[in-house]
Structure 1
Amino acid sequence: MAITRAMPNTPALLGLGATGLYVNDHATGAQRAAAKAIIETFGICVAVESENLLDAVTAVSGSGPAYYFLMIEEMICAGTALGLTPKDAKALTLQTALGATTMATQGDADSPENLRARVTSPNGTTHAAIVSMQENGFGGVIAKAMTVCRDRAVELGKE
């Protein structure tokens, strides 16, 4: 029996989704193509080779929008604490997120590491902020959160 499973995310509501797709070996090429074509009507489709990788897709893109929303929330709060009005902090934060994401997704975009490096002057303000994030375990926090998310998806799949 042909089985297709997909893990979309909420930006699919805007046609900007990121969906992981698994199609088992019983599906025909036409069935695979049809599933991919349907998903691509509301964003990108990434086919994964094994069904268990959908749990990793959940950790990256299924739950991913919430991670970005949390970052946005925290940046707005910090901007407000630094003296900006909530309205101004929100406008600046949202436009910055949109601009950075657009730069990172352009067809010939540089790697995220290179884009970050281009903004980070040695011993400058951005450098100080990045060092602070790294010293406070930012990468580890993200990796741990995504691992916990994946592990919970595995648990839920067994229930």
Structure 2
Amino acid sequence: MMSTQQDKRIHFIGAGNMAGAMLRGLVSSGFKPGSLSCSSPAEAETKRLVDELGISASADNLEYLRDCDAIVLGVKPQILQSVCQELAPFLASADRQPIVISIAAGTTTQSISSWLKQDPDLLPLVRSMPNTPAQVGMGASGLFATAAVKPDQKALTQEIFEAFGIAVWVEDESQLHAVTALSGSGPAYVFEFIKGLADAGVSLGLQPDVSRQLAEATVAGAAKLCAVSHDEEIAGLQRKVMSPGGTTEQGVRVLQSEELTATVRRAMEAARDQSLYLAGEGPALAKN
């Protein structure tokens, strides 16, 4: 049965990788292409999405805003201010207030409201932090809603982000810095670990393509097993692989002696601190 949210009109400003991943997810999950649109000066990107998905597109950010239920700001942070300033007159004169959803990293709801010339207490605005696995329908997004977001608008936002993965809400906007450090930056940490597994396999005598395939499948399989065993502690899953005196136990001992967990924590703290800096909420990190 089709969700009532799938009749909503949603416009994306921006047609890059993340906006494209979100639009593909929406169409795949049942949203009508005729209710979806995007705008961007990048004609090749918009044409590709039109041809692939059957949505509408324009170089004019304002063309499809009339009667929109949601406006997704899918542009890079460095041009977000100018885009918001372009939208401000439309929002000021709109008969009804669409929800505004930002996917720009490090840009606060206070800044976005100011650029849109809207009262932050009255503007229905969601700030989000999706991640790149959205491109394969396995994204993980953190969401924060301002007080003006209505229940039906929150439900629409939830459905938009669940079209390409999971979506969780945080109660305080400052928690998005932790989300950025964990799921936003996390895929790169996992890629580093996959690379480490693959490189180590080669050093032990495996062919590079064989080693990479094994590393990729091992990480994907372990993540899936962890997800379907959500009620079980991760340490318990780990113990099931570790026979006393066996090979896995020896390998895990090395990882523990090298303080892998503490290293991951330091990496996340560095990412969190950089997120604070980019949002103007913390000092610049010292360059090594």
- Normalised to the residue count of structure 2, the TM-score between the two structures is 0.54
Return the letter of the residue paired with 1:70. Answer: E
Per mean C-alpha deviation after superposition, the further-off stretch among 14-23 and 88-97 is: 88-97
> What's the CA shift for 1:111?
2.4
2:278 corresponds to 1:156: yes
Cα RMSD (Å): 1.3
Q: Which residue of 2 aligns with 1:51?
A: 173
What pairs with 1:120-131 in structure 2 (closer than 5 Å)?
120-131=242-253
Q: Is residue 42 of structure 1 aligned with residue 203 of structure 2?
A: no
With a CA cutoff of 8 Å and minimum separation of 6, indicate the structure with the bigger relative contact order: 1
**Match 1:64 to one of 173, 186, 200:** 186
Deviation of 1:97 after TM superposition, in Å, equals: 1.2
Instruction: Check whether the contact 1:103–1:109 (CA below 8 A) recurs between aligned residues.
Output: no
Once the two structures are superposed, what CA deviation does each residue of 1:36-76 show, in whole Å capped at 9, x if it has no partner? 11111111000000111111001110011001100000111
What percent identity do the matched residue pairs reach? 38
The count of aligned residue pairs is: 159
Shift of 1:110: 2.8
Distance in 2, matches of 1:107 and 1:40, equals 20
Q: Which runs of 4+ in 1 moved over 4 A?
A: none
Task: Give the aligned partner of residue 133 of structure 2.
Answer: 11
1:143 CA drift (Å): 0.5
Superimposed CA distance per residue, residues 118-142 of structure 1 (whole angstroms, 9 cap, x where no aligned partner)? 0011221111111111111111100
* Residue 150 of structure 2, aligned match among 17, 28, 47: 28
Greater per-residue helix proportion: 1
Q: Which residue of 1 aligns with 2:263?
A: 141
Structure 2 residues without counterparts, runs of 5 or longer: 1-122, 282-288
Larger Rg: 2
Deviations 1:94-133 (A, max 9, x none): 1111211111111666322111100011221111111111
Shift of 1:32: 1.0
Task: Give 3-state SS (helix, strand or coil) of 1:52's partner.
Answer: helix
Check 1:21–1:77 CA distance in 2 against 1; reply closer, same or farther (3 A cut). same
Q: Does residue 1:114 correspond to 2:210, yes or no?
A: no
- The unaligned stretches of length 5 or more in structure 1 are none
The residue type equivalent to 2:185 in the other structure is: S
Q: How far is 1:10 from its partner? A: 0.3
